[in-house]
Amino acid sequence: MVDEAKEIATQRFEDEFEEEMANPEMAEDFEAQADSVPMDEPGPAMPRMEDESGDQELTYPGAEEDVSEEEKTKSVKPESAEANLKCPECGCTDFNENKGKAELVCSECGLVIDENRIDDSPEWRAFNAEQREKKSRAGAPLTYTKHDMGVSTDIGKGSGELYKVSGKKRAQYYRMRKWHNRLTKSKDRNLGFALSELNRLISHLNLPKSVHEEVARLYEKAVDKGLVRGRAMESVIAALLYIVSRKQGTPRTLDEIHDASGIDKREIGRTYRYVARELGLRILPAKPQDHIPRFAGKLQLSGEVQARARKIIQQAREKNLLSGKGPTGIAAAALYIAAVLEGAKRTQREVADIVGVTEVTIRNRYKELVENLGLEDEIEQKKD
C-alpha cells in the first residue's frame, strides 16, 4: 500500500509539473528563479517519508537538532542513561543511590543528580528471614537437593490425598496421579529415592547445606555417566558424602558414615575409590584440626581447649610429626593434652569412645607429641 501511494503521488506531481511547464509564462518564471539561486547553496529540503507499516510521519533533515539535550536524556532508557551519566560539577561517573530519599547523589562532590528516582523494590516490608520468605512471591531457588531442581509439580503425595477431593473427582484424580507416575523417567525415580536417603544422612551426620548441595550435584553427574548402574545407591551416596565432607573441611570418619548408612566400610571404600577416579575428584588427606570442633563439642570442652589443641597440632606440623599418622588419632591426642593443660581433664577412655580410636592409639600419639614439643614439665605441674 505504501509503495502504491508513493507511485500515485509521484505520477501526480510529474503531471502537474508538465502542465505548468507547458505554459510559456510559468516556464520563464521557473528559469529566472533557478538562475537566481547559487549552485553551492542547497535549496529547501523535501520532506522524507518513513517507510513503515504504521502511521505515516514526515521528518525533515535537521529536525533532530531542534530537540534539546534534556529531552534526549529523558528519552533514553534509565539503564543506558546512567551508564553514560556524568556529574555536571566535577565530571565524576560514580554515584550513590539513596533509596530512602529517592535520590541519585554524586560520590565526589555530593551534587544531587536525580531526586525523583523510581523505587523498584517490593511493596512489602520484612524484618527477619522468616517474614521475607513468607512474603516473597518469587518461589524457592533452584537446588540439586531435589530431583526436579524444585520446579516440577506432584499430583498427590500418598493415598490420604485421595480422600481430600469430592467423590465425583476421585476417579479423575486417581487417573491423573497414575499417569503422572507412569510418565516419570527412571532417572527422576532414581534421584528421588537417592536424594531422600541423602537428606536422612545429612541430618544424621549434622553436615552443612553446602555439603548437601555438592553431594546431590555429584550424584546426578554419576547417574548421567552410568556409574550407579550395578552398585547400591546407598553406597554411592555414602562414598560421595565421605569425599565432599573432606573437601569442604567438615570430615566424617568411615565409622561414622558406616553407622549412619549401614553400609560396610569396605564397600564404602571400594565405591569411594571408583567414583573419585571416574569423576576426576582429587582428594587430599583430612587435616587433624578439622576434627577438633566436632570432637570438642561432643566432649563438652571449652573454646580455650580447642584453641590450645589447634596450637599443639600446628607445632607438631612444623616439626613434621604428622606424617604417616591418622588425623583422628592426632586430633584425639591433641584434645587430651589441651584438656589437661587447661584444667578440663577427660580420661583417655572418654576421648577414645567419642573419637572412635583405641586408647593405645591415644597413648602412642600422646607420648610422641609431649616428648617432641617439650610439654612434660607443664603437664606434670597441672597434674600435681
User: The domain 186-279 is classified under which CATH number: 3.30.420.40, 1.10.472.10, 1.10.760.10, 3.40.630.30?
Assistant: 1.10.472.10
Report strand pairing: 95-98 vs 58-59: unpaired
Query: Mean pLDDT in each 10-residue stretch from start to end of the chain (384 residues)?
Result: 57 60 53 46 44 41 40 38 72 80 82 78 76 70 75 68 74 79 75 89 91 92 89 91 90 89 90 91 85 89 90 90 87 91 87 89 90 83 71
Closest C-alpha to 295, from 250, 326, 263, 260: 250
pTM (2 d.p.):
0.57
> Which residues, including other chains, have CB under 8 Å from residue 198's CB and lie 6 or more apart?
145, 212, 215, 216, 219, 237, 241
Give yes or no on whether 186-279 and 288-383 have one common fold: yes
DSSP E strand boundaries for the chain: 48-49, 58-59, 95-98, 103-106, 112-114
What are the structural domain ranges in the chain?
77-114, 186-279, 288-383
Helix, strand, or coil here: 356? coil
Q: What is the pLDDT at residue 179?
A: 78
Biggest CA pair distance of the chain: 136
Number of helices (H), then strands (E), belonging to the chain: the values are 17, 5
Distance CA 241, CA 272 (A): 9
pLDDT attached to residue 78: 39
The pLDDT of residue 16 is: 61
Fold of the domain built from segment(s) 288-383: Cyclin A; domain 1 (1.10.472)
DSSP code of residue 208: -
| Cell 551416596 found at | 237
Dig out the grid coordinates for 261 from the structure.
Answer: 548408612
According to the model, what pLDDT value does residue 15 have?
65
In single-letter form, the type of residue at position 354 comes to: I
Return left, alpha or beta for 343; rule: phi > 0 is left, psi -120 to 50 is alpha, else beta.
left
- Give pLDDT, residue 310: 92
Distances (CA, A) of 132 to 46, 149, 150, 292: 61, 22, 19, 36
Question: What residues contact 188, with CB distance under 8 A and at least 6 apart?
Answer: 147, 148
pLDDT at 174: 77
Cβ neighbours of 141 (radius 10 Å): 7
